[in-house]
Structure 1
Amino acid sequence: MSEEHKGILLESGTNELEVIVFEVGVGTFGINVMKVREIIQPMDVTIMPHAHPNVEGVIRLRDEIIPVINLAKALGFKDSKNPGQDKLIVTELNQVKAAFHVHSVSRIHRISWEQIEKPNKLSQGLQDLTIGVIKMDENMILLLDYEKVVYDIMPEAGLSSKKLEGIEQRDRSKKKLLIAEDSPILRQLLKDILNEAGYVQIVFTDDGKEAWTYLKEESRAEIDLLITDIEMPLMDGHHLTRKVKEDPQLKELPIIIFSSLITGDLFHKGERVGADAQISKPEIGKLVEELDKLLQVE
C-alpha cells in the first residue's frame, strides 16, 4: 500500500477508514488499509518445526522473515476451493509483521466508523474474533481482531507484565483512568498489567463513542487521563481525541493514544488532533512511564 494512497485518508480526519475486503471460506472480511503493507501472490513457505498449527511456515520478503498465518484454519474454515485466487496480505500489527493467507481479495471500501456495528451472535459464530460488522447492501463484512489471531500464535507479541521490568514502585492508586479499547482480550490484559503496576482505578469503554458519552455525562473531575486505541467502531481514537481537545470542559484532559498503528503518518495525525503522547502496542512499560509523567505520579 503506497504512502500516497494512505495519505488520502489521513488528510480528512472525518472518522473514516478504508477497508480491504477479502474472502476466506464462506466468509467476507475486512482489514484496515493502515494495517496492510502489501498484498502478494502466495510464495513457497519454509516449514518451521514445532510451529503453531495455524502457521503454514515462514517466507523471506526483502530480507525479512515473516510468518504466514492460515486464516482459514484460524477461523475454522476449509481450505481454498480455487487456490489460484489465493493471496497473502502482509500486515504490521503491534510492531510484528505477519502474512495472512486468504482465499481472494476483492476491493477497497471507504466507510465511516459509524457504519461499523458491534458483533452479535449472528457473526457466523466468530463473535469471539470479530470486533465489528459492516453492513453493505446485502453483504456483511466482518472486521476481525487480527491482534488476537497473532497473539494466540505468538503470545510474546502481545502485552506482557515482563515489559514492566525496571518500572519503579510508586503510589498510583489515586489516579483514575478511562480506557477506550475495542478488543476484549486487550482490555483484560491492560487491566491485569496496569493493576499490577498500581493503576487500579480504571474505567473501560468498548469504543470511542462510548468514551465520549462517558466523559460528557459523568463528572469530568472523576477521570485523570484518557488512553485510547485508534481503530474502534462508531468513533475512532483520532476523532475522539480531537473532540475532547476541542471541548472547553475537557480540553485539559491528558490523552495517550495506545495503538498498533503508530506509524509515521499516523503519528503526525495524532499530533494534529492534540494527543499528549502516542505509544505503540505492546510497549506497556513505556505506557506506564508516560502515565507517571503526565499524571505527575511521585
Structure 2
Amino acid sequence: MNSKHQYVELNDGHFIPRLGFGTYKPQEVPNSKTIEATKIAIEAGFRHIDCAYAYQVEEEVGLAIRSKIADGTVKREDIFYTSKLWSTFHRPELVQSCLEKSLKKLNFDYVDLYLIHSPMELKAMEKCKDAGLAKSIGVSNFNRRQLEMILNKPGLKYKPVCNQVECHVYHNQRKLLDFCKSKNIVLVAYGALGTQRDKQWVDQSSPVLLDDPVLGALAKKHKRSPALIALRYQLQRGVVVLAQSFKENEIKENIQVFDFELTAEDMKDLDDLNRNYRYLAAEFGADHPNYPFADEY
C-alpha cells in the first residue's frame, strides 16, 4: 500500500485511508471547481474521496476519478469512495434506489463506504452490502445513545464501521472517540479545519479556527501551516480526517500531514482548546426525535 497514505483497518476487514478529501461545496462555488479540485487531490496523492448524494456533485467527482483512472494515475480499487444516503430516502425500500442513483451518477459498480444519518434504515443498508453495492456501511452524526441503539439491535448483521462527525480542536469529541474506540468503530472527522467558508450553514461571526494562536504557535514551531497542525492532531488521536479545499496549493500541502509528528505536550495544548463548540449544530432539526446533538456526546 502507498506508504504516503496510511490506512486504518475497519471492523469488517476493509481498509480506509487515514486522510480523506472532502468534496462538499458551498452553493456559490461552481461545480466545475469540484472536478478540478478532485483531480488535483488524486494527483497529489489523496486516495480517500468523501462525497454524498446531497452534495449534488457526484457526477463531477465521478468524472474526475474516472479521468484519473483513464490516464493511468490510479485504478478504481486504489480509490476509497464514500457516499451518504440523503434523508428523503430513509424509507427502507428507497435506500438501495438512492445508492443506485449515486452509482449511476458516478458511473461506478460499487462504493467503498455508505453512510446513514438515521438508525431506521440499517436493515436496508445491510442489503446494499450483501448486494455488493457498498463494501462497508457506517453512520454519520450519531451520538453515543444512537450508536448503542444500533449495536444492540436484535439480528444486527453488520456493525457500522465508522461514525462521521464534526470534530476539530474546538470540539474534539473526546468521549465519543473513546466510546467508538471501545466498540472498534472508527471516528471520521469532518470540519477539522473549521467551516467558516460555508455561509449557508455557518454563523459568520463564529471563531476562525485556523486563526487560533495556539495552532499558530505550533505551526511556527514545526514550520508547518495551522491547517496541517489541525489535521495531524486528529491522526495522532486515531481519527480518520477529511481535508477540504479548492486551492491547489492547500490540497498539495494537506497531503504532507504524514511528514512530521506532534509531541505529547503539543497534543495536550491542542486538547486544551476544546470548548465543545459546533460550527454545524443543524439547529433547524432540534425538534426532531433523532436530533443527535442534545445529548452530551
Larger strand share, 1 or 2: 1
Give me the TM-score of the superposition, normalised by structure 1.
Answer: 0.27
